[in-house]
Amino acid sequence: MRVRIGRLLAAFFFLLAPPIAHSETSAKAEPCFACHGPNGNSAVPQFPSLAGQTARYIYLQLRDFQEGRRNDPVMQPLAKALSRDDMLELAAFFAAQKLQPNSFKADPERAARGKAKADETLCTMCHLGNFAGQNEIPRVAGQQYDYVVKQLRDFKSRTRTNDAGNMTSVARTLSDRDIEDLAHYTASLF
Amino acid sequence: MNRNALALASMTLLFFTAVQTRAQETGKAATTGSAVPKQVNVSQEQLVKAGGDTRNWLHTQGNYAQTRYYPGGQINASNVAKLHPAFVFQTEVVESMETAPIVVDGVMYLTTSYNHVYAIDAATGKEYWHYKHRMGPITTFCCGPNNRGVAVSGGKLFMGTLDAKLVALDALTGKQLWETQIADPEKGYSETMAPTVVENKVLIGTNGGEYGIRGFLKAYDANSGQLLWTFYTIPETGHEGVWAENDATGRNMHRDIAKEKGAFAESKGAFYDKLGGGVWMNPAIDLKERTAWFVVGNPSPDLYGDIRPGDNLYTDSIVAVNLDTGAYKCHFQYIAHDVWDLDAVSPVILATAKGKNGKNIPVAMHGGKTGHVYIHDRRDCSLVRYSEAMIPQENMWVLPTADGARMLPGANGGVEWSPMSFDAKSRLAIALNLHQPMTYHVEQVNYPGGKLWLGGAFKVIPSEKQWGRVAAVNVDTGKVAWKYDTEQPLIGGGLATAGGLYFFGEGNGNFNALDSRSGKKLWSFNCGAGANAQPVSYQVRGKQYIAMGCGGNTQLDFKRGNSLFVFSLTD
C-alpha cells in the first residue's frame, strides 16, 4: 500500500510540475498508469480501467473533478492541473486503448441475476447492448467489480451526483444485492 | 404501478445524449466541386417580395411573414395525381434531414446533418459544389445532429453549426468567407436552425434548453460576422414575472406560489444564466414596424422546477423585439414556470386576422406543443384567441412526480418545431401534430455542467397508441376546419400552395398532398425513408417543382436516409 501511495504522490507532483513538452500523448497519460494500469488497464479493483472507455465520458469526468461536481481526494487535485486540451488528449488516448480482461472471477449465478436486473432496469437503453457505452454514457463492460459496486452505491446514497439525475434515479430502485449482482454481470462482459 | 414495472412498461426518451461528433466529421473545412455557372445575387427587395415570387424559394419559411405558402398553382388539385419524381439527389450523410432548401434562379442550396451544404441544379440534380464544415472537438446537442438550412442574401449563404458557430459561404463557389463563434458548445449551445437575413443582419438564436444555457437572439453583420446586438431571452432581473397561476387558456397550473416566492428570495434569482430559453426556429420579420417575432423554448431543467422559482420569463413565450437594436417590445407567456417541456417552438407566422371586435388587425400566430394555435395582437402581444385543441388533452396540468404522472399531450406536443402553413384566402393555418401519451417524472438534480439536464424524464407509455394529425385551424374563429390523421406522430414542415394543395411528410416515408380546403388526400409517394424535412416549391424555366428531404428523424427514430426528392408533373 505504501508503494501505491508513493506512486500516486509521484503522479500528483508530476502533473503539478512545470509543463514539459511531450511529443506523444502517451507521455501525458503515463502518470495515470500508476493507478489506472498500463494503458488504462487497471489491476487494482478500486480503480477503474480507462482503456476503451468513451472519450466523451472521460473528458466530462475529468472536467467534473476539476470543477468539483465529482468528488475524489486523489482525482480532484490531479484534474485541477489539466488544461482543456490535456483533458481532451487524455480522453482520446485512453479511448483508443484496448481493454484487457480483468481478473475478477464473476459468479455465473450472480451474473445471471445481474443480467436480469439490467434488462428490467433498461440499462442498455443508454449504455447500449453489453454495456458498450456511447458518448457521455460510459462503457461498463469488463470494468472492475469493486469500482462498479462503489459507484452504484454512491449514486444510491447521492454521494456521487454528477450524472444529471439519471443514475441517482435508477440506483434508488436497486438493493445492495442487486448492485453486487449487476457488478458481477458487467465484470463478466467482454 | 411500481417504479420498476413502470420502467419495464415504458420507453424513456433518454436518447437525448450529448454527442461528440464523429471523428470523420471533424477536421478541415472543405469545399469540393465547381462553381455555380451563373451569378447569384439576392437583393433585399427580392427577399421582401418573396411571398409573391413563384420562381424562387428564398426563405426557410417562404417569406418574412413565414407563411410557408407558395403563390404558384401550376401543380394543383386537378393534376397533382400526375406528380412524379423529376430527380433524386443523394447526399453523403445518412442521417436525420430537416432542411428547407433555398432556391435561387434554378440553383438549390440544401443542408444535411453535421453541416454539409450542397449547391445543385434545381431542375436536374446536377451537383455543383459540396461544403463540409470543420467541426470543433466539442459539440453538445440533444435531439440529433440536425440542420434546417441556409439563409441567402446578396451572394452569400449563412449557416449555424452544431459547434455553435455562424459561417458565411460564397454562394457561387461554396468557399467559406468568415465564421464566428456564437456561444460555447461546452455549455450546451449548438445551432440547428436556419438563420434569417434582413437588411444585412443575420439573425440567429440557439439550442440548449436541455443543458442550462441562457437563451438569446443575436444579430450579426452579414459582411463581417461582427455581433450587432443580443437579446437575452432570460433577463438578468425580473424573470420571476407576475407569479401567474393559470396558463394562457385559463387552466390552473398547480403552482405553490408562496413556496416559490420564498425560494426566489433566497436565491435572489441568480440562476438566470442557466435558465434555458432557447430560440431554435426562425424569427418572423415585420419590416413596417421594425420588429422581429419569435417564440422562446423551455426553462432548464425541463422537469425540476423547485430550483428555478418564478415565471421563468421569457421561456414558453412569444416575444417581439426591435429589429434594429434587439430591444424588448412585448411578450406573452403561454405557460409560466413550465415543468412539462410543453414550450413554444414552431415559428411565428405574421398575418391579418379578425380581432376581438371582429375587425381585421395585424396578428402573430404560433402553433403550440399544447395543441392550440395562439393568435396575438401584434400591437401589444396580447392574446386575441386560441384554437380549440387539435389533439387530446388530459389531466392538464398535473405536476410531475418521482414515479411519473400521466398527462396529455406528451412533451413533444401538439406541434413540435414543425412550422405551420397559412393560406390567407382560406383563412386556414395548417399544423402538424403529435399524439404521444407520456408520463412526466421529476428528479432533483443540480446543474451538471453542460451535460443533459432534464431534471427527470419523459416516458412514453407503450400500451397507448401514438399517432399524428394534420389540423387546419380557421384563424378568425379558432375552430378546427378539418383533420387528417396519420399512423405515426408528425414532425417536419408543411407547404400550402395557391394550387389548393397542402404537402407534408410522414415518418414511414409517405410524402402526401392533401386538398388544403378539405383535408382530402389527393396524392402520395413513398420516399423510402422518413419524410421529415421541410418541403418547398419553385419554378425553373416555367416549370413548377416540389422538393422534399427524406432522411428520417433522430428524435422520433424514423428511418434514416440521405435523399432529396424533387417532383414535377409528367409532360
Model confidence pLDDT, tens digit, residues B347-356? 999 999 999 9
What residue of B is the nearest CA neighbor of A70?
Answer: B448
Q: Which of B441, B448, B457 sits opposite A162 (nearest CB)?
A: B448
Would you place residue A24 in the very low, low, confident or very high pLDDT band (cuts 50, 70, 90)? low
pLDDT at A25: 67
End-to-end CA distance of chain A: 29
Q: Is A83 on the interface with B (CB under 8 A)?
A: no
A115-129, B70-84, B391-405: lowest mean pLDDT where? A115-129
Cα(B367)–Cα(B478) distance, integer angstroms = 12
Would you place residue B546 in the very low, low, confident or very high pLDDT band (cuts 50, 70, 90)? very high
Residues of B in contact with A55 (CB under 8 A): 20
Q: Is A169 on the interface with B (CB under 8 A)?
A: yes
Residues in contact with B252: Cβ distance below 8 Å, sequence separation at least 6, in sequence order = B245, B246, B397
In Å, how far are A112, A133, B281 from A54, measured between CA atoms? 26, 7, 32
Locate cell 395582437: which residue?
B377
CA B550 to chain centroid: 17
Is the pLDDT reported for residue A6 higher than 90?
A: no
Is the pLDDT reported for residue A2 higher than 70?
A: no
What residue of A is the nearest CA neighbor of B301?
Answer: A164
Partners of B350 in beta bridges:
B364
Q: Is A91 on the interface with B (CB under 8 A)?
A: no
Is the pLDDT reported for residue A78 higher than 70?
A: yes
Cα(B335)–Cα(B320) distance, integer angstroms = 17
Q: Find, among A73, A91, A71, A72, the residue nearest to A82 by Cα.
A: A91
Residues in contact with B350: Cβ distance below 8 Å, sequence separation at least 6, in sequence order = B64, B65, B66, B284, B286, B293, B362, B363, B364, B365, B378
Q: Is A71 on the interface with B (CB under 8 A)?
A: no
Sign of CA dihedral B554, B556, B560, B566: negative
Backbone region of residue B302 per phi and psi (left: phi > 0; alpha: psi in -120 to 50; beta: other values)? alpha
pLDDT tens readout for residues B281-331: 999 999 999 999 999 999 999 999 999 999 999 999 999 999 999 999 999
Q: Which of B18, B137, B453 sits opposite A88 (nearest CB)?
A: B137
What residue of B is the nearest CA neighbor of A163?
Answer: B448
pLDDT at B462: 87
Distance from CA of A165 to the nearest CA of B (A): 5
Q: Which of B19, B402, B454 sits opposite A135 (nearest CB)?
A: B19
Distance from CA of A135 to the nearest CA of B (A): 6
Is the pLDDT reported for residue B1 higher than 70?
A: no
Cis geometry, peptide bond prior to residue B509 (ω within 30 degrees of 0): no
In Å, how far are A29, B74, B335 from B543, measured between CA atoms? 63, 8, 46
A&B contacts, CB < 8 Å = 72
pLDDT at A11: 42
Structure-block grid coordinates of residue A41 = 488497464
User: Which of A57, A86, A122 to mutate against chain B (most B CBs within 10 Å)?
Assistant: A122
Distance from CA of B16 to the nearest CA of A (A): 9
Is the pLDDT reported for residue B2 higher than 80?
A: no
Residues of A in contact with B443 (CB under 8 A): 165, 168-169
Is the pLDDT reported for residue A103 higher than 50?
A: yes
Would you place residue A182 in the very low, low, confident or very high pLDDT band (cuts 50, 70, 90)? very high
Is the pLDDT reported for residue A7 higher than 70?
A: no
CB atoms within 10 A of CB B442: 25
H/E segment holding residue B260: helix B257-267
The whole-model pTM stands at 0.90
Q: Is A68 on the interface with B (CB under 8 A)?
A: no
Distance from CA of B383 to the nearest CA of A (A): 37
Residues of A in contact with B12 (CB under 8 A): 122, 125
More confidently predicted of A19 and B113: B113
Determine contact, residues B532/B524, Cβ cutoff 8 Å. no
Residues of B in contact with A63 (CB under 8 A): 449
pLDDT at A165: 87
Structure-block grid coordinates of residue B141 = 446537442
What percentage of chain A exceeds 90 in pLDDT?
74
CB contact under 8 A, B445 and A55: no
Q: Which of B445, B449, B455 sits opposite A67 (nearest CB)?
A: B449
Q: Which of A55, A56, A63 sits opposite B449 (nearest CB)?
A: A63
pLDDT tens readout for residues B442-479: 999 999 999 999 999 888 998 999 999 999 999 999 99
* Phi and psi, residue B13, nearest 5°: -90, 15
Would you place residue A122 in the very low, low, confident or very high pLDDT band (cuts 50, 70, 90)? confident
CB contact under 8 A, B443 and A120: no
Distance from CA of B13 to the nearest CA of A (A): 9
Cα(A92)–Cα(A89) distance, integer angstroms = 5
Distance from CA of B4 to the nearest CA of A (A): 7
Residues of A in contact with B457 (CB under 8 A): 166, 169
What residue of A is the nearest CA neighbor of B10?
Answer: A122
Is the pLDDT reported for residue B366 higher than 60?
A: yes
CB contact under 8 A, B445 and A168: yes
Residues of A in contact with B14 (CB under 8 A): 125-126, 166
B434, burial (CB in 10 Å: exposed 0-12, middle 13-18, buried 19+): buried
For residues B6-24, give the mean pLDDT: 34
Backbone region of residue B411 per phi and psi (left: phi > 0; alpha: psi in -120 to 50; beta: other values)? alpha
Q: Which of B12, B449, B455 sits opposite A165 (nearest CB)?
A: B455
pLDDT at A3: 38
Determine contact, residues A146/A46, Cβ cutoff 8 Å. yes
Is the pLDDT reported for residue B29 higher than 70?
A: yes
Identify residue B300 by its one-letter amino acid code: S
Q: Which of B3, B4, B14 sits opposite A166 (nearest CB)?
A: B14
Q: Which of B12, B441, B449 sits opposite A125 (nearest CB)?
A: B12
Sign of CA dihedral B381, B382, B387, B391: positive
CB contact under 8 A, B448 and A163: yes
For residues B75-101, give the mean pLDDT: 98
Cα(B209)–Cα(B461) distance, integer angstroms = 24
Q: Find, among A64, A21, A35, the residue nearest to A162 by Cα.
A: A64
pLDDT tens readout for residues B217-270: 999 999 999 999 999 999 999 999 999 999 999 999 999 999 999 999 999 999
Residues of A in contact with B20 (CB under 8 A): 55-56, 135
Distance from CA of A69 to the nearest CA of B (A): 7
Would you place residue A117 in the very low, low, confident or very high pLDDT band (cuts 50, 70, 90)? very high
H/E segment holding residue B354: strand B349-354
